[in-house]
Structure 1
Amino acid sequence: MSIEDIKKSAEEKMAKSIEVFKADLQKIRTGRAHPGILDQVLVDYYGSMLPISQVANVTLLDARTLSVQPWEKGMGGKIERAIRESELGLNPSSQGELLRVPMPALTEERRRDLTKVVKHAGEEAKIAVRNLRREANDHAKKLLKDKTITEDEERRSLDEVQKLTDRTIAEIDRMVSVKEGEIMAV
Structure 2
Amino acid sequence: MPRGRYSLHDPHDHTPLGEEHFHCAPGPSGWRYVSQRTTPSGDPAGSVDLAIDDHGRPIRLELHAGDWQVRAAALNGVTWVRTDPTGEHAEENNAPAHAFTGTSPAFLVATARLLSLTPASPATRLRLVAFTDPVLAPRTLDQSWTLLKREAHATDNGPLTVDEYQVTALDTGEQHAVHLTGDVVLSAPGIELEHLESPPSAFA
Provide TM-score, normalisation by structure 2: 0.25
Largest Rg, 1 or 2: 1
Q: Which has the higher helix share?
A: 1
Higher relative contact order (CA 8 A, sep 6+): 1
> What TM-score comes out, normalization by structure 1 length?
0.26
